[in-house]
C-alpha cells in the first residue's frame, strides 16, 4: 500500500484508497480538466472536494502541495520511479496523465507539440480572459462604473472564440479526428462562459457555428458528463 504520509495534505484529506491517484479539486473550469481526463483515461482515483469558498486552498496542508493556492492538484502514488508524486497546475497534470497512460496525446512528435500548443493557448489566453470577462460581467459589473475592463475582456474573448472557430473548420476536434487533451482543456471554459457566467449574448456566441457544435459533441461524451460533476460537494 502506498505511503502518502510525506504529503501534509493527506492529514487534512485522508486517503481511503492510497493506491489510487488522489485528486484535490472543485468542479470549476480548471478543476474539471483533470476529473474529465481521469474519467476518459479510466484511471483509478479518489476525489477530495476542496471548498474554495472557505479558502481551503490557503491552509498550510494544501499549500504544501500547491504553493500557488489554487485547484486542482494531484498525488500519484505510482509516480516516476514508482514513488508518490505530487503535481499542481491543470495543464501540467493533463500532460502528465496523458504521458502516463499514452492516451489523448498523439505519439507523433509534430502532432504532439501541435496538441500541446493548444493546451498552452487555453492556459495562457482562454482561461485568463474568459475568467476576467466572467468576473466583470457577472460579479462586478454593477459596482464598477468604468466599463473599459469589461469591454477589453469581452473583445479579447470574442477574438479567442474566433480563433477556435477558424481552427475547427473541417475538424470535429481541435486536432481533427483525434479528441485530445487540447479539447479537454477548453471544454469547461467555453461551457462556463455561456453557462455559469451567462456571457453568451455578450460575446455573440450564437453567431458562431463550429464552436457550439464542438462544445455539444464534447459535452455529450459520457466521461465528460461524469467529470463535470467531480468532486461532488459533501452533503
In tens, the pLDDT along 53-65 reads 999 999 999 999 9
Architecture per CATH, domain 109-221, reads as: Up-down Bundle (1.20)
pLDDT at residue 166 is higher than 80 = yes
pLDDT the model gives residue 109: 98
Residues 188-215: pLDDT tens digits?
Answer: 999 999 999 999 999 999 999 999 999 9
| Contact status, residue 76 vs residue 100, Cβ threshold 8 Å | yes
pLDDT on residue 235: 78
Average pLDDT score, the chain: 96
DSSP 111-177: HHHHHHHHHHHIIIIIHHHHHHHHIIIIISTTT----HHHHHHHHHHHHHHHHHHHHTTT-SBTBBT
pLDDT for 107-154, tens place per residue? Answer: 999 999 999 999 999 999 999 999 999 999 998 876 777 889 899 999
Cα distance from N-terminal residue to C-terminal residue, the chain? 29
Domain 9-103 -> CATH class: alpha beta
Given a cut of 80, whether residue 39 has pLDDT beyond it is: yes
Q: Where are the domains of the chain?
A: 9-103, 109-221
| Confidence check: pLDDT of 168 > 70 | yes
Cβ atoms 222, 156 nearer than 8 A? no
- The share of the chain scoring above pLDDT 70, in percent, equals 99
Peptide bond into 156 cis (omega under 30): no
pLDDT at 142: 66
Q: Do domains 9-103 and 109-221 have the same CATH topology?
A: no
Q: Work out the average pLDDT over 81-88.
A: 97
* Confidence check: pLDDT of 234 > 90: no
Amino acid at each position: 500500500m502506498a505511503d502518502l504520509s510525506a504529503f501534509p495534505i493527506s492529514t487534512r484529506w485522508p486517503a481511503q484508497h492510497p493506491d489510487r491517484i488522489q485528486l484535490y479539486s472543485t468542479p470549476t473550469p480548471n478543476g474539471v480538466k483533470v476529473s474529465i481526463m481521469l474519467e476518459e483515461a479510466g484511471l483509478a482515483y479518489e476525489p477530495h472536494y476542496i471548498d474554495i469558498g472557505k479558502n481551503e486552498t490557503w491552509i498550510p496542508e494544501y499549500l504544501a502541495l500547491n504553493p500557488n493556492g489554487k485547484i486542482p492538484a494531484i498525488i500519484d502514488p505510482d509516480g516516476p520511479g514508482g514513488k508518490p508524486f505530487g503535481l499542481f497546475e491543470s495543464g501540467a497534470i493533463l500532460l502528465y496523465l496523458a504521458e502516463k497512460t499514452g492516451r489523448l496525446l498523439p505519439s507523433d512528435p509534430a502532432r504532439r507539440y501541435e496538441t500541446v500548443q493548444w493546451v498552452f493557448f487555453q492556459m495562457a489566453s482562454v482561461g485568463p480572459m474568459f475568467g476576467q470577462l466572467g468576473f466583470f460581467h457577472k460579479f462586478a459589473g454593477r459596482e464598477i462604473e468604468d466599463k473599459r475592463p469589461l469591454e477589453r475582456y469581452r473583445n479579447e474573448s470574442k477574438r479567442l472564440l474566433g480563433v477556435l472557430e477558424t481552427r475547427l473548420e473541417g475538424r470535429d476536434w481541435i486536432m481533427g479526428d483525434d479528441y485530445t487533451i487540447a479539447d479537454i482543456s477548453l471544454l469547461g471554459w467555453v461551457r462556463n462562459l455561456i453557462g455559469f457566467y451567462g456571457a453568451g449574448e455578450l460575446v455573440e456566441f450564437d453567431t458562431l457555428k463550429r464552436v457550439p457544435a464542438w462544445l455539444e459533441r464534447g459535452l455529450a461524451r459520457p466521461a465528460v458528463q461524469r467529470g463535470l460533476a467531480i468532486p461532488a460537494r459533501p452533503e
